[in-house]
Structure 1
Amino acid sequence: MTISAAPSRSHGLIPAHGGTLVDLRVPAEQREAVKAGVDHVLECSDRNACDVELLMVGGFSPLRGFMHQEDYQSVVESHRTTSGLLFGLPIVMDTHREDVRVGQRLLLTYRGQELAVMTVESKWEPDKAREAKGCYGTTSLEHPAVKMIATERGRFYLGGSIEGLELPHRVFPCGTPAEVRATLPDNEDVVAFQCRNPIHRAHYELFTRALHATNVSQGGVVLVHPTCGPTQDDDIAGAVRFQTYERLADEVANPRIRWAYLPYSMHMAGPREALQHMIIRKNYGCTHFIIGRDMAGCKSSITGDDFYGPYQAQDFARDHATELGMETVPSLNLVYTEEEGYVTAEHAEARGLHVKKLSGTQFRQMLRSGEEIPEWFAFRSVVEVLRSAS
């Protein structure tokens, strides 16, 4: 197990909490020795595998393993560990197994791969209702993450250090923080754009215009960093999303855009998730983070009501950005107009411009029916991928 020093880059391109960038992978020649004498084999869920990978490569720096009960409870209650470090959401391993005990060593596997060895240092039965209320602001099963922790996660949570063996094989080629940083320019701002869906014209306009924000240097770049782990049930499949990103990167060929993929599973936790994303992107070398309207928000599966206010995530992230050494870039409310193309909604209203709209439902219907999709709404390459996958 090694810890690599953070690259000496300006603009605070160090881990979100300072210190060094964690890398918990053991050298290949030591892996058999690390696996010797494990007490149990524990198969990871898709979400577990994302957390294990981010722990191994330093995405959750400075964590060296899954949180102990005390840190878990502190993060649930105050979005901080017991030592005061900011974390939007707790990082824990879960299991239904009663035979796992503190002091044992677990081989964590995933789809035929041996990912890591975990030393169990803490085991407890969580109060999931309290976790839901603290992290997501609700105990309603209509919230996707509340439903997840209630119905998917195991009865027990485990905390403890890990020793990494192998990264999961993924359709998305997920670069480590060190690898992503190596693609970023020295001494310039790096603006992170988080997404979990295919990128359309409005998204592209949004993150390229972010480079012209007053707090972004002229030579800065955008890191488009989509999540590739589990999202909401009705989201487009990961393999299809990956194809849309790859095709779009080739189509736009914009030298001020970098593309990478993040092994993270969405919780749709609104403000808490915005903070989590900002911490992770700082670890990947970003200086700025775009906060969209109702970022990582979700709606009731019954009433359709929003769980979070439209600017809750922006306000929460902005309030903690300075502590992390980050800056936020609020996303513009862009609309497409017949007269001037994409402009802010405020500009369109002030000028009396004619706004054109196309809802997500209409877009999906047009995809299925084979109708022509207007290029002001979606990139042709993205539409081709989505159509071929439907």
Structure 2
Amino acid sequence: MKFFLASAMLAATASAFTTTPSTRSVARSVGEAKFAPVSVRSAGTQLEAAKQVPHGGSLVDLILKTDEEKAAAVAKCTKELQLSPRQLCDVELIMNGGFSPLTGFMDEETYKHVVDNVALPDGLIFGLPVVFDTDDEDLQPGDIVLLKDGDRDIATIEFTDKYTPNKAYECKECYGTSEIEHPGSLMVATERGKYYMGGKITGLNLPIRDFPCRTPAEVRETLPDDVDVVAFQCRNPVHRAHYELFTRALDDPLVGTDGVVLVHPTCGPTQADDIPGVVRYKTYEVLKEETHNDRTRWEYLPYSMHMAGPREAIQHMMIRKNFGCTHFIIGRDMAGSKSSVTGEDYYGAYDAQDFAKAKGPELGVTPVPSLNLVYTDEEGYVTADEAKEKNLSEKKLSGTKFRKMLRGGEDIPEWFAFKSVVKVLRENV
């Protein structure tokens, strides 16, 4: 059934969406008028430990605090479901406030509004839909279900509605294409179930992971309340150029004096050929020790990547706002992807930056464009423009070449990668 759907999506794409890599929804949304202001709707606490106000005004916390409350919530359930890795990430971010102001999975009205408008029905900006998918014909609105990760109780969900999404349309709007050569479209077509269901979440326990994922409230308590906090998102090991990029971001004129960087990698499911999350976590930990810096903080995010380019840039900015960040570094082709058939990029190099700049004021997060850094024999890392102006000798090493050298046991140049990171990769990949 799912592969039939994928074929149908290809047919729809051929007739309805064969244009440029930049998304239709992005082009439309940037030109739209601003929505009306949104009041605080979610039960939670506006934390003062960080400078940034949570998205929607208050930070959601759906996790029950006592064993008695948890037992009572479980007693109401009539069914159990095992969460997929992607669902587990979504449930965690709903119940800990990472997806504030959401208090559950999106119903059909909310889902459609986010797909069409990059916003919730009341106008609050929201990058991508957050949906509970299933193939279960027996699940119905009104069911209260215990959601589990193995033997561990994670949450309960009270389903409010059940609907059949137009997946081809969802992909065109959110990813810019419904071609299954796009990893996000492939995920929607072949991994997600036939139905989506809206439902209110009640949190029981956070998942036990190989890497510690502190909640937004916990992270906020560690952040200064009087300086800017610049978030850096990555889904790969941090190499020298990345490190130079996020440390130099503190010198950007958009960032205030004495700002700090929150390095906040995603450790959930991502593209099939990316390095597994637990291995990435190990590289981050050794690098954190090697480059100890009071202006750099490290935390980990249980988020599953969609590779949705501009729309995902907004989603990342919104999540980091809930974690207390005021600024967000937008790299070239952020959350971008290539066709698995042609190798062509689905998004332009600056589509995510342009969309983030357009939506930043409405979102309340300042995008910081990443520097285009290159390594030179004469002066180390400089901007590409500076290297060209001074006629400096650039050194380059592609990701493909790096992986080949890694597998072959060849020496990796220290200008490209940290020795500690290379050691971890050799031992685990």
- Normalised by the length of structure 2, the TM-score is 0.89
- CA drift of 1:160 comes to 1.5
Give the alignment partner of residue 49 of structure 1, picking from 63, 76, 88: 88
Show CA shifts across 1:46-76 (max 9, x none): 0000000000100000111111100100111
* Helix, strand or coil at the partner of 2:328: strand
Give the alignment partner of residue 61 of structure 2, picking from 20, 23, 27: 23
- CA drift of 1:237 comes to 1.1
For 2:60, the aligned partner's letter is V
Match of 2:189 in 1: 150
* Residue 304 (1) aligns with residue 343 (2): yes
Question: RMSD over aligned Cα, in angstroms?
Answer: 1.1
Give the alignment partner of residue 83 of structure 1, picking from 113, 122, 127: 122
Match of 2:265 in 1: 226
2 CA distance for matches of 1:6 and 1:374? 47
Q: 2:49–2:221: 8 Å Cα contact kept in structure 1?
A: no
Show CA shifts across 1:137-187 (max 9, x none): 101000011011111111110112110001111111001001111111120
2 CA distance for matches of 1:9 and 1:345? 38
2 CA distance for matches of 1:254 and 1:64? 36
For 2:312, the aligned partner's letter is E
Match of 1:4 in 2: 44
* Helix, strand or coil at the partner of 2:147: strand
Match of 2:178 in 1: 139
2 CA distance for matches of 1:139 and 1:175? 35
* Residue 193 (1) aligns with residue 236 (2): no
Show CA shifts across 1:5-38 (max 9, x none): 1212564x111222x1000011232111011131
* Helix, strand or coil at the partner of 2:174: helix
* Helix, strand or coil at the partner of 2:222: coil
Q: 1:240–1:386: 8 Å Cα contact kept in structure 2?
A: yes
* Residue 344 (1) aligns with residue 383 (2): yes
- Report matched runs for 1:259-298 at 5 Å: 259-298=298-337
For 1:17, the aligned partner's letter is G
Show CA shifts across 1:75-115 (max 9, x none): 11111111111111001111111111111111111122111
- Report matched runs for 1:61-72 at 5 Å: 61-72=100-111
Give the alignment partner of residue 366 of structure 1, picking from 405, 413, 425: 405
- CA drift of 1:3 comes to 3.9
Q: Judging changes above 3 Å, is the alpha-carbon distance between structure 1 residues 244 and 149 closer, same or farther for their aligned structure 2 residues?
A: same
Match of 1:212 in 2: 251
- Report matched runs for 1:308-387 at 5 Å: 308-387=347-426
2 CA distance for matches of 1:71 and 1:183? 33
* Helix, strand or coil at the partner of 2:162: strand
For 1:21, the aligned partner's letter is L
Q: Across the two proteins, how many residue pairs are aligned to each other?
A: 387
1 CA distance for matches of 2:184 and 2:207? 23
For 2:101, the aligned partner's letter is P
* Helix, strand or coil at the partner of 1:289: strand
* Helix, strand or coil at the partner of 2:200: strand
* Helix, strand or coil at the partner of 1:182: helix
Structure 1: segments with no counterpart, 5+ residues = none
* Helix, strand or coil at the partner of 1:121: strand
- Report matched runs for 1:84-163 at 5 Å: 84-163=123-202
Q: 1:49–1:110: 8 Å Cα contact kept in structure 2?
A: yes
2 CA distance for matches of 1:139 and 1:5? 39
Match of 2:78 in 1: 39
For 2:375, the aligned partner's letter is Y
* Residue 255 (1) aligns with residue 294 (2): yes
For 1:356, the aligned partner's letter is K
* Helix, strand or coil at the partner of 1:120: strand
Q: 2:50–2:221: 8 Å Cα contact kept in structure 1?
A: no
- CA drift of 1:39 comes to 2.4
Match of 2:35 in 1: none
Show CA shifts across 1:318-351 (max 9, x none): 1111112111100000000000100000000011
2 CA distance for matches of 1:125 and 1:109? 24
Of 364-373 and 70-79, more deviation after overlay is shown by 364-373
For 1:80, the aligned partner's letter is A
- CA drift of 1:133 comes to 0.7
* Helix, strand or coil at the partner of 1:302: coil
For 2:211, the aligned partner's letter is F
Structure 2: segments with no counterpart, 5+ residues = 1-41
* Helix, strand or coil at the partner of 1:117: strand
Give the alignment partner of residue 207 of structure 2, picking from 150, 168, 176: 168
2 CA distance for matches of 1:63 and 1:202? 36
Match of 2:32 in 1: none
1 CA distance for matches of 2:162 and 2:53? 32
Of 231-240 and 33-42, more deviation after overlay is shown by 33-42
- CA drift of 1:389 comes to 1.2
For 2:44, the aligned partner's letter is S
Identity of aligned residues (%): 60
Q: 2:288–2:298: 8 Å Cα contact kept in structure 1?
A: yes
